[in-house]
Structure 1
Amino acid sequence: MSKIEEIVDALEVKVGQVLQELETVKQTNLKLEKELQISKQEFLNQQQIIVSWEEKYEALKIANTMLGSDENKRETKLKINTLIREIDHCIAQLSD
C-alpha cells in the first residue's frame, strides 16, 4: 500500500507544480496582453502624428507654390481645382 501512496503523493506534487506553472503562464499572458494593448495604442498615436505631419507638409508645399515657387505648381493647381469643385458642389447643394 505504501507504494501506491508514494505514487499518489508524487502525482499530487506534479499536479501542484503544473498548476503553479499554469498560474505563472496566465500571469505572463495577462502582462503580455496589456503590453500589446499599450503598443497598439502607441502605434495608433504615431499613425495620427504621421497623418498630421503629412497634411502639414502638403499645406506647406501649396503655400510655397503660391508664394512663387516653381516646384509643385501642377499639384497646387490640381488641389485648387479640387477645392473649387468642392465649393461649387456645396453651393449647388445649398441652392437646392
Structure 2
Amino acid sequence: MSNTIEAIHLLENKLKNLISNYEFLKKENEILLQNTTKLQHQLIKREQLFAEQKKQYDLLKIAKTIEGSGEDTKDTKLKINTLIREIDKCIIQLNE
C-alpha cells in the first residue's frame, strides 16, 4: 500500500510540474504572439514609409530631369510616356 501511495504522490508532483510548465509556456506564447503582432505593425509602417520616400525620390528625379540637369532623361521620358498612355486609356474609358 505504501508503494501505491508513493506512486500517487509522485504522479501528483509530476502532474503539478507539467501543469506549471504548461501555464508558463502558455504565457510565454502569448507574449511572443504580442511581440510578433507589434513587429508586423512596425514592418508595415516601415514599408509604407519606404514606398512614400521612393515615390518622392522618383518625383524629385523627374523634376530634376525636367529642370535640365541632364541626368536620367531617358527614365523621365519613359515615365512621361507611361503617364500619357495611362491618361489616354482613361480618356478612352470615359468616352465609352
Same fold (TM over 0.5): yes
How large is the Cα RMSD of the aligned pairs? 0.9
C-alpha separation in 2, matches of 1:94 and 1:7:
84
Once the two structures are TM-superposed, the CA of residue 85 in structure 1 deviates from its matched residue by: 1.1
% identity of equivalent residues? 39
Q: Distance in 1 between matches of 2:95 and 2:44?
A: 40
| TM-score, scaled to structure 2 | 0.95
SS at structure 2 position matched to 1:37: helix
**TM-score of the aligned structures, taking structure 1 as reference length:** 0.95
**Runs of 4+ deviating beyond 4 Å:** none
Deviations 1:13-63 (A, max 9, x none): 111111111110011011101100111111111111111110000000000
| Deviation at residue 89 of structure 1 after TM alignment | 1.4
1:2 aligns with 2
**Structure 2 gap ranges (5+):** none
**Structure 1 gap segments, 5+ residues each:** none
Give the letter aligned to residue 85 of structure 1: R
Structure 2 counterpart of 1:44: 44
Q: Which amino acid aligns with 1:55?
A: K
